[in-house]
Amino acid sequence: MRLFRFVGWYYFKYFLIVLLALELFFVGIDSLKYADKMPDSANMIILFFTYDILFALNYTLPISLLLAMVLFYITFIKSNQYTALLSIGFSKCQILSPIFLISLFFTAVYVGLNATPFVYMEEKTQNLIYKDNSLSVSEHLLVKYNDDYVYFDKINPLLQKAQNIKVFRLKDKTLESYAEAKEAFFEDKYWILHDTTIYEMPSSFELGNNALSTTRLKTFKTLKNFRPKVLDTIYQNKPAVSITDALLSLHALVRQNADTKKVRSFLYVFAILPFFVPFLSVLIAYFSPSLARYENLALLGLKFIIITLVVWGLFFALGKFSISGILIPEIGVLSPFFVFLALSLWYFKKLNKRL
């Protein structure tokens, strides 16, 4: 327990220092970037910095955990504290365990945040800067729902409102009816069209019969469980989506026998991929020398920093390629992750045997 507090505190301290530095750098760059577009209201400026700090965590948190590992091992080896701990009987695995568990905890917290609106901080920041919700509005969506094809001219996920909606109902690949409304709102799991006009086609077209019947309804329900963010996830090129919305999207797509590749990519990237961070600590521990004189610590630190950033960059790029559809998510995300996991476990088994 004392070892955990001793090692854990040093690692946690380095983590906080790096995280604070990266957050200040990230927010500072964004402040300069949007200096001429900042809101006039003090409240809006505070909101901007709050959203921007939270958005920056997507990048700064994993990088801070990784760089703190490098700092910990380099400084501990340089001060001979690492050698002292090994000489009094502690194993390399025991010294590694506080670092691994702390990084695992913060990674789990990060994944938990990805299931909340935390994911949409970038979108909220952009809306504040451009002073409207126009960036959130999606246009020209065509959605298949059971035997219906639903067209949205415009949809605003933040307001849960759509404009100029058309619903085409088909039976045996033949148009059976057509409904249209000026606006619709998402309420109680359904899209509810207001002041709807429905045009019904006859089952057979015969000379002298009415070819079209018209019905007007105050409300018309369609697209059960197709929440606005679900539609955004499936049909728009959004940079991020919460795990909760991705699961709802996956459920809706599976029910409709539609392609789930993009949604699966989101789930793998935000729920599984971040866990590469604690397992990278095993590789850093394995290649760290027991004594300072065994390695050039300045060069070793540079190597570790480059390797950690390259590994993070590779996983980040593979995730983006999978989301954009270039790679199949199981090949682009899961396969590299599990190969890396197996490699880390193999090095962990050999860790105590390395001098």
Query: pLDDT higher for 215 or 104?
Result: 104
* Helix 42-78 × helix 121-130 angle, to 10°: 140
Residue-level pLDDT at 204: 65
**pLDDT confidence of residue 346:** 94
Least confident among 21-25, 120-124, 341-345: 120-124
Residue reference for tokens 């996830």: 233
The answer to whether the predicted template modeling score (pTM) of the entire model surpasses 0.85 is no
Residue 175 predicted with pLDDT over 70: yes
| pLDDT higher than 90, residue 172 | no
**Per-residue pLDDT tens for 217-247?**
888 887 776 777 666 666 665 657 888 888 8
Look at residue 73 and tell me whether its pLDDT is greater than 70: yes
Question: Per-residue pLDDT averaged across 114-126, rounded?
Answer: 85
Nearest Cα residue to 180 out of 202, 170, 165, 194: 165
DSSP state of 204: S
Enter the DSSP assignment of 209: S
Task: At 188, list the tokens.
Answer: 């109680």
What is the C-alpha separation between 291 and 347, in angstroms, rounded? 19
- What tokens does 117 get? 């609106």
Q: What is the pLDDT of residue 209?
A: 61
CA torsion 144-148-152-155 (nearest 10°) is: -70
What pLDDT score does 228 carry? 73
Is the pLDDT confidence value at 148 over 70?
yes
pLDDT band at 355 (very low <50, low <70, confident <90, very high): low
Cα–Cα dist 151/141, whole Å? 6
Q: Give the pLDDT score at 312.
A: 92
* pLDDT number for residue 232: 66
List, as own/partner pairs, every contact residues 346-350 make where C-beta atoms lie below 8 angstroms and the sequence separation is at least 24, other chains included: 347/282, 347/283, 347/286, 348/93, 348/282, 348/286, 350/286
Instruction: Tell whether the model's pLDDT for residue 104 goes beyond 70.
Output: yes
Quote the CA–CA distance of 222 and 226 in Å, as a whole number.
9
Token duo for residue 94: 């025991």
Pairing of strands 213-222, 148-156: unpaired
Lowest mean pLDDT among 74-83, 231-240, 307-316, 334-343: 231-240
Q: Which residues share a beta bridge with 168?
A: 149, 178
355 alpha carbon, distance to own chain's centre: 40
Alpha-carbon gap, residue 26 to 308, rounded angstroms: 19
d(CA 353, CA 153): 64
- Chain CA centroid to CA 301, Å: 30
- Mean of per-residue pLDDT scores for the chain: 85
DSSP string, 1-44: -HHHHHHHHHHHHHHHHHHHHHHHHHHHHHHHHTGGG--SSHHH
Q: Which residue in this structure is represented by tokens 């290649």?
A: 287
pLDDT of residue 100: 95
Token digits of residue 73: 């091992």
